[in-house]
Every structure is written in structure tokens, then in C-alpha cells.
Amino acid sequence: MDRMRGTTYAGLTRVAVALYFVFIFFFFAVFNKFHLIYQEQTQLFLFDRNYFLGFLSKPGGLISYFGAFCTQFFAVSWLAALLVTGAVLAIYALVKLVVRSIGLRSAVWALVPAVLIVALQSSATYPLGNTLGFLIALAFIAAYMRIKPIRIRVGFGIAGLVLLYIACGGYWLVSASACFMHELLFRRSKFRFVIAGAYAVLAACAPYFAGRHFYAVGFAGSWTNPIPSVLPVPLGFELFFVLAYVPFLMAVAAIREAFPAKVKVAAHSEIGKNGILKAILSAVILVGLPAAAYDYKSECILGMDHYAQTEKWDRVLTFAKLYPGVNRLVTYYANLALSKTGRLGDEMFAYPQNGSAGLFLPCDAVPQDLFFGGDLSYHLSFVSAAYRFAFESMVVNGPTPRSLKRLTITSLINRDYPQAQKYLAVLGKTLLYRTWASRYSAFLDNKQEPFPDNELAEKRRFAVVSDFWLEDNLTVKHLDKLLQDHPDNKAALDYYLAYLLLDKDIDAFLTKLGLCAETKTALLPIHYQEAVLMYRYAYGGAGAEGFAIADQVNRRFKDFVRAISLHKHDNDKGASSMAAEFGSTYWYYLYFGSRIS
């Protein structure tokens, strides 16, 4: 009966673990999809000897290389989820082997590092190579502990640790400390102190020697590279636990072995007797930890970024609506998406705005801003700026598919074919972008005018003619200059007018609007009409003649004026009570600022 119960329990555990890994797969495939896609976008794996050799200058270069190899497949979200889940599953299996060989039985013991890795991999900046480093270190430990003959084991241990150091860098310390503790705590050989001492000496000296003579790393880096020295706050703890876990388990197992009764009783009294409590606790840890590490806001932003790259502007706007709160990057992408879909003048106040600053992204703050912020200049046909920001991004963030593609395209637009050829040659060494490179390589041989690509031809048509200084960030001055060269640059005009609206400079807005011939003949975008009405209201109609206003907008404005007069003594109350009806109007923005702020 007990045996049957045991079998059933084991079966249920297996099913639960399997379900858990299905959950992990969906966690990465659905909820962390854009984090993983972003990882692919921030690196560039090349099938190139020099690229490979570059990794060997540091300990652990091989796993970084292999990690980069795998990360290129993150461009396909289900494949990314599969790779991460596979790595986590392998870690679970290996920890289970280690756990069993030291006499611990519970599946939860084996799941803990897997869960921690899930939390770590939820970060867009945690490289897969690190997970693989830990995985290989675990595989080494599992193999080491199964070898019985002392000579073979120690030979395997020393030779393996050296190779492990070269391949996995800092993760070898997990293996070295496990070998050390294994010999000391679980082997009864009379040489165990000597062997353990040898491992301690190896761990202390080998990195020092290697760092001094072979690797271009600093003192600490000789031991720790490629383990990240700086991680976002919660992840630092998780990484520490991952690294310390196996030695910790060995210590626990050794204590249990030394004091079997006390520890077992304690374990029983806490969770052993109550299966439900144990299951609930496990579930809380297994689901709670990844949930705690999950960053929904970042996922939204990275989703917007992904769809902006793939020019699915409606999806960018969907994420802008989903994002909880206000974020400059969200506003930046939402405005870009509205401009690209021709809706900036109609819908910009339906999305959170934080003044004219929300139109531009500063490119001088953090490296990621350069990564995201160069897009606008390209869509404004400000090609020199787009080239510059892409180049700066490549310098600061390393070559990425995005920066190299942008550099290629801007170089082609500028007729700088030798430079375009260079970036295409690099992209030609990738797996995923060689087709793209091949397509654009055709333009190198085909220098005909007009350019045989509509988008690039348009950018060429709007090429900046008059020379002016380009500051670190895009500003309204640049928009003005772009429009001086090409008054028909619609994107630049949209942004210029949006800038004036957001800056609440209706005078300048109407002046600029009046200069555009078509604004007198066609019906204006809704926010422009709203601005005209507000101007007429404020100045009695002078100076804003000739613009057609839709009846509906006129009616709505009257309602707005009525509502405002009701709340003229209580601004806060007015803001909250009028938000639902007028929150997406320019008038509301003028009076109360952005609806969501």
C-alpha cells in the first residue's frame, strides 16, 4: 500500500513538474516574449573566425559565444521560450541528480535553482550564456559525483575544472566548491583533506595565473567573468542564491547526515506531514518568484519597440493603451506610431502626453536611449541624424542588427556605397540577416536614380540641403530646418505642429498652420481644429480665420466651455470630472495637462 502510495506520489510529482515546465514555456512565450526578442536585438552573432576569437580573450568566453549563438534564435518568440525552458529543464534535471546523490529527495530542492534562473532570465539584460555556464557547471558536478575510483575522479576533477574555467569562467567556482565540499563531506578517503586542499589551491591560483598571463581581464574578473557584477537589485540576490545553491545543499545534506533524527523531525513537523501545505508553499515559490521578477511595464515598452521596428503601428498604440502610467518612451513611441499612421493631429491627446519632451527621446542619457531614440530622426527623413544615432548606438551598445541595418540604409540614402557595403558584409555573416543583406546588396550595384526603393527614394528626396549644427538631441529647431529645406516633409510638419500644441503655443501653431497651403482647403485634423477654436475663443476670432471646423467639434467645444465654467473654482475637481468626456481633447490638455499624468 505504502509502495503504491509512493508510486502515485512520484507520478503526481512528475506530472506537476511537467506542468510547471509547460507553465515556464508559456511564461516566456507569452508574457516575456518581448524581453527575449529585445535580447536578440541587442546582440549580433556572426559566423566569423575573428568574432569567435574575440570571445576567447576572457575566461568563460566559450559559453558567452554559445549563449550569443542561441540568443540569435530569440528573434522567433516560441523558439526563444523553448530554448530558455530547455536550459531551465536541464538545470532541474542536473540539480535533481546532484540532490539525489547527496541523499536529498524532494523535487522542490531540485526546482529551486530552476525557478531562480527563470526569474533571472525574465530580465532583458541577463544573457543566456550565463544560464548555460551554470548548466555546464552543474553537469560537471553531477558527473564528478558519480565517479567512484578516486584517481579517476580527482584526475577528472582537476583537468575538468581547468577546462571548465576556460569554457565557463566564473561558473567554475560553483563546480570547484562542490568538488571541494564533496570530497570533504561525502568521501571517506584518507586523502580527502589533501584533495579538497588541492581544489582550494586550484580555485585560488588558477584564475590568478590565467588572468596574469592569458586573459585581458582585471583581478576580480579573472575569477568571476562572465558573471555580471552589476544586476538590477532583485536579480543580484537571485544570482547569488543560484551560485551558492549546490554548496549550500551539500552543507544541508551533510548536517542531515550528521544529525539525522533532529533534522528529519524538524522537517516533518514543518511541512512533511502536511502535503497540502507543502504543495501550496511550493506553488507560491514556483509561481510567485517568477511573478515577482516579471516586469510588465518593460514588456509593454519592449513590445512597442518590437512593433515599431516591424512597423506594426496599431500594435504599438495598443501597448501604449495597455501601459499603466506615464513613461517617456511610451509617449515617444505612441506619438511616432500616430505620426506614421497619419493620426497625430487627431488622436495624440487620447494618449498620455508629457509636454513637447514626449515627442523626442534624449539620446545622451543612457545607452538604451540611443538604441531606441534614433528611430524618430529616420522617420523624419533626417538621415544624417539617423546615421549618427545609429552609429553612436553601435559604439555604445556594440553592433546590433538594428544599428547595422539603419547604418546600411542611411549610407545607401547618402550614396555612401562603400560604407553600406561594409555593414552589409557584417550582416552577411549572420544567420538571420543575411537575406536582408543580400536584398540590400543589390542596391550597391544598382546606383540608378531615382532609387529603386520607394522608402529610401523618399528619404533621399527629403535629404537635408542646408548645413546646420546637429546637437546631441533632436529639437524643434531641427524640425524647423528640415521644413525650411522641404516644406512638404509631412512627418516633420506633423511633429512641428504637435510640438507647438504640446508647448501650448497656439499663436505659433496658427502661424505655422497658416503657412501650409492645404490647411485652408482640407478639413484640419481634430486637435488642430480644437486649437483654432480655442484661439478664436480666447481672442474673439481674430487671426484664425479661414480654417474649416466640423460641426461636431464646434458642439463639443461649447460643451467643454460650459463644463469649464462649472468648475472654474476647483481645478482638481474639474480635471477629474471632465476627464472621461474631454480627456482626449486638446482643450483638456491646455487646461489640466495630460489626462493621465
Partner 1 sequence: MRGLSACTVIVALLFLSGCSDNETSAVSVDREPEISPDYAGVTIPPNIAPLNFSVLEKADAYVVKIHGPRGKAVSVSSKNGVVRIPLGKWKTLVSENRESDLSIDISTKQQGLWGRYRSIMVRIAAETIDPYLVYRLIEPGFVRWNTMGIYQRNLETFEEVPIALNELSGKNCMNCHSFRQNDPSTMLFHVRGQFAGTVIYRNAKLTKVNVAAGAMGPVVYPAWHPGGKYVAFSVNKIVQRFHSIPEKTIEVQDTLSDVVLYNVETDRVSSCSALSSGDRLETFPCWAPDGRRLYYCSAPVVSPDEYDKIRYDLLSIAFDPDKQEFGAVDTVVSSEKTGMSVSFPRISPDGRFALICMSQYGNFTIWHRESDLYLVNITTGQLSKPHINSPQSESYHSWSSNGRWIVFSSRRTDGRFTRPYIAYFDEQGTAHKPFVLPQEDPAFYSTFLKSYNLPELVTSRVRLTPRELGAVIRSKAENPTD
Q: Provide the mask over 217-246, with x wherever binding to partner 1 is found by CB under 8 A and - wherever it is not.
A: xxx---------------------------
Q: What is the largest CA-CA distance in the chain?
A: 101
Q: Work out whether 481 is an interface residue with partner 1 (CB under 8 A).
A: yes
Using CB under 8 A, which of the segments 389-397, 491-499, 501-509, 527-535 binds partner 1? 389-397
- State the minimum distance, in angstroms, from the CB of residue 201 to partner 1: 22
Q: Cα dist. 578→354, 355, 573, 586 in Å?
A: 19, 20, 8, 13
Using DSSP, state whether 412 is helix, strand or coil.
helix
| C-alpha span between 515 and 363 (Å, rounded) | 31
Among 2, 261, 418, 562, binds partner 1 (CB under 8 A): 418
In this chain, which of 385, 483, 491, 531 binds partner 1, going by CB under 8 A? Answer: 385
Binding status of residue 211 toward partner 1 by CB under 8 A: yes
Residue 475 within binding range of partner 1, rule CB under 8 A: no
Find all residues with CB under 8 Å of 338, minimum gap 6, and list them.
313, 317, 344, 347, 348, 351
13 binds partner 1 (CB under 8 A): no
Among 141, 376, 380, 426, binds partner 1 (CB under 8 A): 426
Please count the residues of this chain forming the interface with partner 1, following the rule CB under 8 A. 48
Of 297, 451, 232, 475, nearest to 376 (Cα)? 475
**50 versus 448: smaller Cβ distance to partner 1:** 50
Q: How far is the CB of 494 from partner 1 (least distance, A)?
A: 20
Binding of partner 1 by 315 (CB under 8 A): no
205 in contact with partner 1 (CB under 8 A): no
Residue 128's nearest CA partner among 184, 69, 181 is 69
Measured distance CA(172)–CA(161) in Å, rounded: 7
Cα-based distances in Å from 9 to 14, 274, 278, 352, 540: 9, 14, 13, 53, 82
Residues 33-92 contacting partner 1, CB under 8 A: 46, 48-50
Please identify which residue in the block is written with the cell numbers 528640415. 482
- Contact flag: residue 537 with partner 1 (CB under 8 A): no
Omega of the bond leading into 127 within 30 degrees of 0 (cis) = no
d(CA 596, CA 574): 14
Give yes or no for residue 212 binding partner 1 (CB under 8 A): yes
Of 241-249, 326-334, 394-402, 506-514, which part binds partner 1 (CB under 8 A)? 394-402
> Does the protein bind partner 1 through residue 216 (CB under 8 A)?
yes
Q: Does 395 bind partner 1 (CB under 8 A)?
A: yes
CB of 436 to partner 1, least distance (A): 16
Out of 278, 422, 461, 490, name the contact with partner 1 by CB under 8 A: 422
Residue among 211, 248, 245 at smallest CA distance from 114:
245
Question: Do 179 and 147 meet the contact criterion of CB atoms below 8 Å apart?
Answer: no
CB 386 within 8 A of CB 415: no
**Single-letter residue type at 232:** P
- Can you give the binding site for partner 1, defined by CB under 8 A? 46, 48-50, 211-212, 216-219, 364, 370, 382-385, 387-388, 391-392, 394-399, 414-416, 418-419, 421-422, 425-426, 429, 463-472, 478, 481
